[in-house]
Structure 1
Amino acid sequence: MEESKNFGSAILFGVIGIFLLAIISSLIFSLILRFTSTQESSVQFIITAISFVTLFAGGFISGGKGKQKGWLLGGITGLVYSIIVFMFQYLGHNSLFDVEQIIYHTCYILIAMMGGILGVNLSSSKTRNA
């Protein structure tokens, strides 16, 4: 019971971290696009890279909090994020994921898994050194 509670809180922290970083980066880029002559097409790759970093950070947070099974924690964190985005898109805009979005979200889940693995390894190495 304790392990599942720990996993749940680790995943929750990871998803909250993802959304906080996404909100902050969205605010920054919306201000840049609004108050400069920059076009959205010119920052598209930067935004994509930041979204991958954000998912990696969320996986890292969940792996660091859970301290074990980082691939699972990161994967579930990425999956929960993708499900929330899918539900928002489906319920709010009445559209399903297209093939490009499925590819992106699969990569998001894999990146979050990598973050979870690194989060567990870095948190357990700190524990061993202390």
Structure 2
Amino acid sequence: MIATILVALIALLHLYIMVLEMFLWTTPRARKAFGLTPELAAQTKALAANQGLYNGFLAAGLIWSLLYPLPGFAWQLAMFFLTCVAVAGIFGAVTASRKIVFIQTVPAVLAMLALMFV
């Protein structure tokens, strides 16, 4: 149950990030979340939308893992997409902001650990 909740929360987080990046990038909320000036947000809007799409794919994969009827394959799906989230968090921490590791990687690893003990 804990593993399922963690996977669902991470999926919701990535849906939220997708919305911020694809649709709200230039709003005060997104600019604050990503530390952007209005000018930089305007200049990077297309890049952010592309990035948001990838976050949407991560969320879709995690949701797929929650809905798939065969537990063994659902587990594999969850582990694959959580690994993708964890790696994306590490890459983001190295290239953008160290706080990303706490927002993406740590929750993904915790969910993976929870799944291993199911």
| TM bucket, shorter chain | 0.3 to 0.5
**TM-score, normalised with respect to structure 2:** 0.35
Larger relative contact order (Cα-Cα within 8 Å, sequence gap ≥ 6): 1
More helix by share: 1
The structure number with the bigger radius of gyration is 1
